[in-house]
Amino acid sequence: MVLLQIQEPGGKPARPKHRLAVGIDLGTTNSLVAARCGLKVETLPDESGEHLLPSIVHYGSDGLISVGRKAKAFALTDPKNTLVSVKRMLGKGLTELRQLGHYLPYEFDATREDTAPAVLTHAGSKDPVAVSSDILSVLKARAERALKGELEGAVITVPAYFNDAQRQQTKEAAELAGINVLRLLNEPTAAAVAYGLDSADQGNIVVFDLGGGTFDVSLLSLTRGVFEVLSTGGDTNLGGDDFDRLLAAWLISQSGESAVVEGEALQLANELKHQLSDVEEVEFTMEDYQGSLSREQFAEIAKEPLSRAMMICRRSLRDARLGLDEIDNVVLVGGSTRMPLVRAAVAEFFGREPLTSIDPDKVVAVGAGIQADVLIGNKSDSDFLLLDVTPLSLGIETMGELVEKIIPRNTTIPVSRAQEFTTFKDGQTAMALHVLQGEREAVADCRSLARFTLRGIPSMVAGAAKIRVTFQVDADGLLSVSAEEIFTGVKSEIQVKPSYGLEAETIESILQASQENARADMELRSLQEAKVDAMQLIDAVAAAVIADPQLLEEGEEQRINEGVAALAAALENGSSAEVSDLTAALNRISGDFAARRMDVHISRALQGESI
């Protein structure tokens, strides 16, 4: 998305010495912005001194858009117009969203069900990109006020596990808010940046990030200013909200109150969860019910999401080919890691106390701020670099509805990989390509990113055309795919656009091969190829007839000779298509004879005779 650049009258303003760039942590529950203030990179507060901006937007009937704490107040009174945890909706279709079973008190825009899920609000239909953009605008304004200048760029963090569609939409939201995106940075990587530079650590680091809505674990190695992401794992639907939900369900079942509003139980659950971070046991009242909750009980209630998180840790270690004894540091990120039960589980699994010296809510924004400062060029002499990896495998659909992986997960990016495909029908001039993301083998189990058709393939026998499909993932983790027909040399490219769950089928970009100027060259080359094939076949058939005349059936030799003669004539002055067609015809005529020879030779070989 290209934005209008509005120039002030009177020419360009003088460029400030220090270019203004910020790091933004666009979170599910809270968002933050951080920038260099003097020697340190710090998060920036709003006018009332608050650093955390709740990621909530309310669209009022009076046309007023409120973001953050003000919007939060409307969550109970006007839920239909108050959008919370919108990050979870990014890059998803409505059907998929409903399957995830989140609390969605919204009215969705029926006219846009096929594309992005959009919520009908007082301010009109709002999709997740527009809502995220409203949050980012507030952070941008906050930064420009605090830094007293115009922002030149921002590093925006995303969960390492975000897929292509989710990354694309995050970038779109930033651009909609008028923010120049320097880089999308994986959240755990940002956290390690914050710790790495502050404490000058060397070695292997685990970043355990349990936020409100998402869980990420990354393994990084840090050597002389270069971070290499060894592996990432996570779950876009695992976070503190799950603990709230489980606790709310427990509260409702304990009190036996069917009259309890789900939203109220959730709020109480959230309060109790926070209180348990400071005390061993809390008392509570819900309607008429009075009860108590201990840390131990809470640990039992929250067992499932916690063990799921530990399983993902185990897998990431394996992906990175690291043993537990090779881990030097464990970094905690995300407000949910304040829960003592989470800290205990992490310490037990990794066999060491995790680092907690930086506020787990701010650490990602601080890391992004450091990276933004480097990328905008304020620290050009820095020898600090981040090498990220692809979180999910990327591939293409092949025969039998299976996915052929072209770029496996945890490949260092940027990366470019090519694979050759061919036609499976004679005279096929188009090929449908289906780009997928995911780890499973079956197409149905992976996420469809895009479908497109390569047209203008020269008409050839099956298997003769060569189509090279190249996947390129840039440093932001965004994918573009290009397809090239090798005979014509024509190349076309698409950037894979975000798709929305099941509706992805409807996304179709067409690669029209504009092959006019290459056509003559192509005809010549394909004729030469066809002639080579034809001559090889004639030689092979002639040799076979001489070697095994006893295997020929009645009339077969004559049919074969006729086929050879026709093909030989076409070799003199035929077109590539004629030569190809007659080659295919001769292949069919001599096919049975060839099959009989094969059988005989194999049975001889099995009996120990040399061929």
Largest CA distance in the chain: 100
One-letter amino acid at 61 equals S
Among 46, 87, 92, 533, which one carries the catalytic annotation?
87
Residue type, 299: A
Binding mask 315-354 for another protein (x = CB under 8 A): x--x------------------------------------
Report which residue type is found at 523: E
Question: Binding of another protein at residue 475 (CB under 8 A)?
Answer: yes
Question: Residue 191, Cα to own-chain centre: how many angstroms?
Answer: 20
Residues touching another protein, count (CB under 8 A): 33
Nearest C-alpha neighbor of 195 from the set 398, 43, 34, 331: 331
Compose the 181-200 pattern: x for residues touching another protein by CB under 8 A, - for all others.
-xx-----------------
Answer yes or no whether residue 377 interacts with another protein by CB under 8 A: yes
397, 418 in Cβ contact below 8 A?
no
The token pair that represents 243 in the structure block:
């603990």
The single residue among 288, 383, 572, 609 that binds another protein, judged by CB under 8 A, is 383
The contact mask relative to another protein for 199-228 (x = CB under 8 A, - = no) is: ------------------------xxxx-x
Question: What phi and psi values does residue 603 have, to the nearest 5 degrees?
Answer: -65, -35
Shortest Å, Cβ 62 to another protein: 41
Pair 74, 52: CB distance under 8 Å: no
Active site residue 209: yes
- DSSP of 314-331: HHHHHHTT--GGG--EEE
Binding test (CB under 8 A) with another protein, winner from 333, 413, 507, 564: 413
Instruction: Give the shortest CB-134-to-another protein separation in angstroms.
Output: 26
Q: Which of 152/198 has CB closer to another protein? A: 152
Query: Does 602 participate in binding another protein (rule CB under 8 A)?
Result: no
Q: Does 385 bind another protein (CB under 8 A)?
A: yes
Residue 463 touches another protein, criterion: CB under 8 A: no
Sheet containing strand 415-421, edge to edge, reads 415-421, 467-473, 479-485, 490-495
64 binds another protein (CB under 8 A): no
Q: Which of 46, 209, 216, 397 is catalytic?
A: 209
- Establish whether 271 is a catalytic residue: no
* Residue 21 to residue 154: CA distance in whole angstroms: 5
Q: Is 164 a catalytic residue?
A: no
Q: Does 425 participate in catalysis according to the annotation?
A: no
DSSP character string of 364-427: HHHHHHHHHHHHTTTTTT---EEE-B-SS-EEEEEGGGEEEEEE-TT-BSSEEEEEEE--SSTT
| Alpha-carbon torsion, ordered 528, 531, 535, 538, to 10 deg | 160
Q: Which 250-279 positions form the footprint of another protein (CB under 8 A)?
A: none
Piece of the chain touching another protein by CB under 8 A; list 43-51, 210-218, 391-399, 410-418? 410-418
Among 46, 187, 373, 476, the active-site one is 187
381 sits near another protein (criterion: CB under 8 A): no
Angle, in degrees to the nearest 10, between helices 303-319 and 240-255: 160
311 binding another protein? (CB under 8 A): yes
Q: Which is nearer to another protein, 309 or 364 (CB)?
A: 309
Q: Which residue's CB is nearer to another protein, number 243 or number 471?
A: 471
Here the contacts of 102-106 (C-beta below 8 Å, separation 24 or greater) are 103/262, 103/263, 103/266, 105/79, 105/80, 106/79, 106/80
Could you say which residues in the range 225-244 bind another protein, by CB under 8 A?
A: 225-226, 228
Report d(CA 129, CA 124) in Å as an integer: 14
CB-nearer residue toward another protein: 312 or 579: 312
Rounded to a whole number of angstroms, the minimum distance from the CB of residue 374 to another protein is 8
> Measured from the CB of residue 330, what is the shortest distance to another protein in angstroms?
20
| Candidate list 191, 386, 564, 570; residue touching another protein; CB under 8 A | 386
Closest distance between another protein and the C-beta of residue 427, in Å?
Answer: 27
42 binds another protein (CB under 8 A): no
In angstroms and rounded to an integer, the radius of gyration of the C-alpha atoms of the chain is 31
The reply on whether position 175 binds another protein by CB under 8 A is no
Q: Which two tokens stand for residue 208?
A: 């355990």
By C-beta, is 201 or 523 nearer to another protein?
201
Shortest gap between Cβ of 385 and another protein (angstroms)? 5
Residue 147: CB partners within 8 Å, gap ≥ 6? 20, 22, 35, 44
Long-range contacts of 345-349 (CB under 8 A, 24+ apart): 345/306, 345/309, 345/310, 346/208, 349/310, 349/313
Chain-centre distance for alpha carbon 36: 30
Nearer to another protein, 127 or 172 (CB): 172
CB nearer to another protein: pick between 35 and 182: 182
Q: Is 379 in the site for another protein (CB under 8 A)?
A: no
What residues contact residue 105 under an 8 Å CB cut-off, 6+ apart?
79, 80
Q: Does 314 bind another protein (CB under 8 A)?
A: yes
Minimum CB separation of residue 116 from another protein in Å reads: 27
DSSP string, 551-586: GPPTTHHHHHHHHHHHHHHHHHH--HHHHHHHHHHH
- 426 is a contact residue toward another protein (CB under 8 A): no
Residues 6 or more apart whose Cβ sits within 8 Å of residue 426: 460, 461, 462, 584
Does 604 contact another protein by CB under 8 A?
Answer: no
Binding window for another protein (CB under 8 A); candidates: 252-260, 310-318, 522-530, 565-573: 310-318
Kindly tell me which of 65 and 182 has the beta carbon lying closer to another protein.
Answer: 182
Which range of residues in 137-145, 349-357, 422-430, 469-477 is near another protein by CB under 8 A?
Answer: 469-477
Contacts to another protein by CB under 8 A: 19, 152-153, 182-183, 223-226, 228, 311-312, 314-315, 318, 374-377, 383, 385-387, 411-417, 472, 474-475
Query: Annotated catalytic sites, by residue?
Result: 25, 87, 187, 209
